[in-house]
Chain A
Amino acid sequence: GQSLEQPSEVTAVEGAIVQINCTYQTSGFYGLSWYQQHDGGAPTFLSYNALDGLEETGRFSSFLSRSDSYGYLLLQELQMKDSASYFCAVKDQAGTALIFGKGTTLSVSS
């Protein structure tokens, strides 16, 4: 089956850079994606990596190393509004359903 590991909590200050790691074990791999969820809200899609390397979208970047079964989400120039939970996700063995990690709670302080 699929399993994902990510830290439960990360703290940082405004303006800093933070990296949220995700390691995965999968039977079949179709890519790694990241979602953001503010407290009480719906998760929203952030990014997706199918190939090794760094994908940049504004202040957020996501990295994938398939040989290491590892990826990370990099958040730069942190703002208070970035305080949220971040989930990595992979597809199931059939390549359809999304399986999520337990999430990392990011707290940004001033």
Chain B
Amino acid sequence: SYELTQPPSVSVSPGQTATITCSGSKLGDKYACWYQQRPGQSPVLVIYHDTERPSGIPDRFSGSNSGNTATLTISGTQAMDEADYYCQAWDSRAGVFGGGTKLTVL
């Protein structure tokens, strides 16, 4: 079965750039999306179709996807961005989530 791999944790200082990766076989041939989940809350879509932001998502969130790796970048990271982030893709009509990355804003 298809698997997506994320680092368990990433730390960043306020105002700096956070980068979260998601790896999977030929992931660049699929569309990747990203969800933010704050503690005790439902996930929120922050990036779809590799690079697109839903309305209401700040432009400090951006994405890319090429080869075997999709990347979520948060520029000018704020304390409110501290959360778990999950990548997701579709394989053979089934959804697949990465294991999640805990972003800590120190």
A, B co-complexed: no
